[in-house]
Amino acid sequence: MLRISFSAQQFGHFHIEHQANSQANAARHPIPFFFLKTRDFFGNTKHWVTKQESVEISDLERTILDGLRHPEYCGGITDVAKGLWMRHTDISVAKLLDYAKRLHVGAVYRRLGYLLELFSLAAEADLRSLRESLTATYVPLDPSLPREGSHVAKWRLQLNIPADELLAVRSS
């Protein structure tokens, strides 16, 4: 059974639930969907599912930025950092920066800049361009975790995950 439901509390969001009917187990798998403004619909690539059918999916850089924007939907900031590190040789930093500017989301600037600097993946000039776009507001590195930990003024981030935990993803 497929059911689409809308929530007034989450204006602009809806999800689809797929219920697998079996005698042993009836599992529900909610899938969050987001409505995007037309200007935010970029960074897609065609992926062929069969010889005749394709779907549009986000490219590598857009996937990283979506994870930085909503880490709660992809395992947290540690998993986003792991994905960034695992695929860093395939990722275009120039495209990441361009997409970040197009999204124009301060939390993305902060998290992206911090991770690029932590992993030494970007030149100082690129990092500076992100820092110049920051406001005075601090945001948590991972919004799904408690707001505790030290603050990094350079990125206007509250580090609620220790840097050594993020650096550990390089060895996994």
pTM: 0.80
- The least confident of 38-52, 67-81, 100-114, 145-159 is 38-52
Residue 72: pLDDT over 60: yes
Residue 139 has pLDDT above 50, yes or no: yes
What are φ and ψ of residue 33, in 5° steps?
A: -125, 150
Higher pLDDT, 14 or 74: 74
Q: Among 40, 84, 47, 36, which Cα is nearest to 63's? A: 84
pLDDT at 18: 42
DSSP alpha helix (H) spans, the chain? 60-69, 77-86, 93-103, 106-118, 124-131, 163-167
Is the pLDDT at 24 greater than 80, yes or no?
no
